Amino acid sequence: MSLEVFSLGTSGMMPLPGRFLTSALVRREGELFLFDCGEGTQVSLKMLNLKWKKINSVFISHMHADHVTGLPGLLMLSSQVDRVEPLYIYGPAKLGEYIDANRKILDMYINYEINFIPVQEGVILETQEYTVNAYRLKHTKPCFGYSIVEKDRPGEFSVENAKALNVEMGPKWGKLQKGESVENSLGQLITPEQVLGKARKGRKFSYITDTKYFPEIADFVHDSDFALIEGMFCADLEEDAEDKMHMTSSQAAMIAKDGNVKKMGLQHYSPRYSDYELKQLKIEADKIFPDTILTKDRMSFDIPNEE
């Protein structure tokens, strides 16, 4: 089962040539989750051949222009490509006002259902296979980080054990793999534990941007297989980062290390840095957390299943 992360933009505050505003998309078995939607989001989606009308849910971190100004265009374009499925948009309470105002002022033609869900900390979406969790960050406006957390999958099915326990091949094998007990050909009750191996841990993706550093963020991203974390400034501007309620790449690395993250991608870079100067962000982060990626626009990352 695939779980892919696409970085659609990595810039903070203003877009630059080749560096659009911060946004990321996660694709999980055909479901698409969009995180933030600044200027340039649609361009990256097009360049990556990702179908925006297939986006199921949008998660907005906070109400600053560099994270939401791409949303009205995305909503309008989805009507032009004949979207029919409902779109679910999650974010701070004022996001609902922003959507309504844009629909009215721009006289948007919307031919599909838009559902806005104001975010509170905790589980904000749950299915049989995963949850999406929100965490309150510390910024100049209400701001949330998000995690997609898969539920553990059943262990590997043992054909050998099933045959030895006289369970005939067919629907009963499927039920056992779904966690249901069945009767074998002798009328005996066979439980999933008798034919399944150890449960396989689900995967976790986390998205953190626009926040001052505080150590508790590590608890939220704990055990993430991949986390996109803001590393806006180099360490020499740590005081500026604190004043503006942002983070340095070193602070992002501390969160990844303390949170036992497997791999971290930096994002939301200050426009003061050229592409060459961005390398210093990674150099500083690597000293603390070597599994750091200097994320660039339109990079993609595959999160494999645990075998």
Looking at the annotation, which residues are catalytic? 66
**HSE, side-chain direction, 13 A CA sphere, residue 79:** 13
The pair of three-digit structure tokens given for residue 27, joined into one six-digit string: 């694709």
Measured CA to CA, the distance from residue 231 to residue 234 in angstroms comes to: 8
Helix (H) or strand (E) holding 190: strand 189-190
For the chain, counts of helices (H) and of strands (E): 10, 16
Handedness of CA 161, 165, 170, 175 (dihedral sign): negative
Residue 305 backbone dihedrals phi, psi, to 5 degrees:
-70, 150
DSSP letters, 248-278, are BHHHHHHHHHHTT-S-EEEE-B-TTS-TTTT
